Amino acid sequence: MGKVNKTEREWQRSLSADEYRITRQKGTEPAFTGQYWNTKTDGVYLCRCCGTPLFSSDTKYDSGSGWPSFFRPLDASNIDEHSDETHGMRRTEITCHNCDAHLGHVFEDGPEPTGLRYCVNSASLMLEAKQHSDDETYP
């Protein structure tokens, strides 16, 4: 997938006001309010802006932070990391490699096997739920 290039006006037309503020202007949704912070549905989390697969529900866990948290991305090359020293803190921002959407931050306080916590805004994600076959449902 190549780099997605849209004008700010095109992003504004394709996203809700909150999605635009968070993904394009590096905003943050309040803790415990996003659509996916407590979701346990099986599937793949995609970038809200471009549909790039970012995280699997298999790596999602309850970090207690109020945001969806994952210990590993599906493909590390789909996520870029940037130094973020805003708000008087030193953090590592994560963005979508294909469209530069702000996703959230990665911290080194996650569970094994990686020790990482990818803390992501729900507004930056779309969940593509896994369709269960009858074979999976009825053994």
50 in catalytic set: no
Contact 110, 134 (CB under 8 A): no
Q: Provide the residue type at 90 as one letter.
A: R
Residue 102 CB burial class (10 angstroms; 0-12, 13-18, ≥19): buried
Catalytic residue among 47, 49, 99, 119: 119
Strands (E) located in the chain: 43-47, 53-56, 60-61, 69-70, 79-84, 91-96, 102-107, 117-120, 125-129
What phi and psi, each to the nearest 5 degrees, are found at residue 57? -60, -20
Q: How many CB atoms lie within 10 A of CB 18?
A: 15
Nearest Cα to Cα of residue 28 among 18, 36, 43? 18
Catalytic residues: 119
